[in-house]
Amino acid sequence: MKIRVFDNPADAGIYAASLTERVVETTPTPVLGLATGSTTPPLYDALVSMEQYGLDLSEAVTINLDEYIGLSANHEQSYHHFMNHHLFSRLRKAPKEIHIPDGTAADLNEECHRYDSIIRKNPIDLQILGIGKNGHIGFNEPDDLLVLNTHVVNLSSDTIQANSRFFDSVDEVPRQALTMGVQAILQAKKIVLMAFGTEKSDIIAKVVHSPVRTELPATILQLHRDVTFVLDRDSASKLDMNSLLLSRS
C-alpha cells in the first residue's frame, strides 16, 4: 500500500489523474473503474483539463461501481447524472463504452448478472474508489460477510445519513443500491482510493492500521498488490506515519 498526501484536494486530484493518464497511455483499450461521491470531482476536473491538452479517452471503457435503486438515469442524484455532469458531458470525445448499473431495471438480479458479465469481458486496469465513514467501498457495507459479485445492498443508516446532504431530506435517500462486489474491485490491476477532509481522518486511520476484517470493508484493500491512497492533509491527519515508515524499512 502506498500513501500519498497533498496540501489540498485539487492537487490530489491532479495526481490521481496522472496515474489514470499513465494507464490510458500504456493500455490499448484501458478499462477504468469509476466512482462517484463528493471525493471524485477533483479527479474528473483534472481529467477534463488533461483531455483538452491531448489526453485521449476515446478508446477507454468505463465501468462505474454502483447506482441507487429506484432513481432514473436523469434524476439529479443518480450516479448516471453525476458522471455525465462531472465528466462525460465535458469531454470532447466520449469513452468508447460507458457502463453504469441500471437501478430501475425490472429484474435486479438479472441486472447484477448482466453487470458481472460486462466486468468479466472488460477486466479493470485501474479502479478509483472513495470511502464511506463506516469503511464501505462502492456500496459494500460492513457485514459479517462481504459479497463477491454485483448485488443489491440495503444501505446502512450511516450511509443514508451521510448521503442525505445531497437530497432535500433524509427521507428522499434511496434505501437500496446496486454495487459491484469486492471480487471485481480486488481483481483490478491497480487501485486508487481517494479521501479528503477531517471527517474521513478517523476511517482512514482505522483502515490503514487495522487488520483485515469485514466490518471495515476497505481493509480488504490491504490484500491487493498495487493500492495507492491519495489523501489531503486533513484526511491523513490521524495516520501514524512513523509506524508506516518502520513497517516498510
Tell me which of 21, 125, 141, 234 is the catalytic residue: 141
What does residue 153 show for φ and ψ, rounded to 5 degrees?
-125, 140
Residue closest to 238 by CA, chosen among 201, 200, 199: 201
Tell me which of 136, 151, 232, 234 is the catalytic residue: 136
Cell numbers representing residue 17 in the block: 489523474
Tell me which of 134, 151, 163, 234 is the catalytic residue: 134
User: Contact at 8 Å (CB) between 74 and 103?
Assistant: no
Q: Which residues of 227-247 are buried (b: 16+ CB within 10 A; e: fewer)?
A: bbbbbbebbbbbbeeeeeeee
Distance CA 185, CA 195 (A): 17
Tell me which of 66, 111, 116, 234 is the catalytic residue: 66
Distance CA 150, CA 119 (A): 10
Distance CA 103, CA 83 (A): 15
85 is catalytic: no
Please report the sign of the dihedral spanned by the C-alpha atoms of residue 106, residue 151, residue 127, residue 125: negative
134 is catalytic: yes
Distance CA 35, CA 127 (A): 8
Positions marked active-site: 66, 134, 136, 141
